[in-house]
Amino acid sequence: VQLVESGGGLVQPGKSLKLSCSASGFTFSSYGMHWIRQAPGKGLDWVAYISSSSGTVYADAVKGRFTISRDNAKNTLYLQLNSLKSEDTAIYYCARRDYGGPLDYWGQGVMVTVSS
């Protein structure tokens, strides 16, 4: 199992960014997937979840601004980040949800910095 995030970078407040998480080594379409973030020096903060059938759930802090999606043909998970704020600055991880519920595999993370 391998999860590789990409698409991070430095972006101005109010702008947009799209993160990708490329999955391999398992049947991507059969698993739910999460995005979790970690601000510098802080703890883990759950962002969003998409089920294998593409149902979605969001944290209140990002609802209406971020959109999680998936392309099973490309084995890729996405996170569209709009109206970015300085408090969105963090490492963003994608993680696989195992059938029992835990986040059993995590990517290496991608840094998003929101600053003018």
Q: Could you tell me which stretch among 8-16, 68-76, 80-88, 97-105 binds other proteins (CB under 8 A)?
A: 97-105
Is 39 a residue that touches other proteins (CB under 8 A)? no
| Amino acid at site 6 | S
Strands 90-97 and 76-81: unpaired
Q: Could you tell me which stretch among 14-22, 55-63, 68-76, 77-85 binds other proteins (CB under 8 A)?
A: 55-63
Identify which of residues 62 and 114 has a Cβ nearer to other proteins in the complex: 62
Across the chain, which distance is largest between two alpha carbons, in Å?
42
- Gyration radius of the chain's alpha carbons: 13
Q: Is the dihedral of CA 31, 51, 17, 13 positive or negative?
A: negative
Is 87 a residue that touches other proteins (CB under 8 A)? no
The distance of closest approach from Cβ of residue 11 to other proteins in the complex, given in angstroms and rounded to an integer, is 22
Chosen residue from 11, 93, 110, 114 binding other proteins by CB under 8 A: 93
Chosen residue from 25, 85, 98, 115 binding other proteins by CB under 8 A: 98
Sequence-separated (6 or more) residues with CB below 8 Å from residue 52: 29, 30, 31, 32
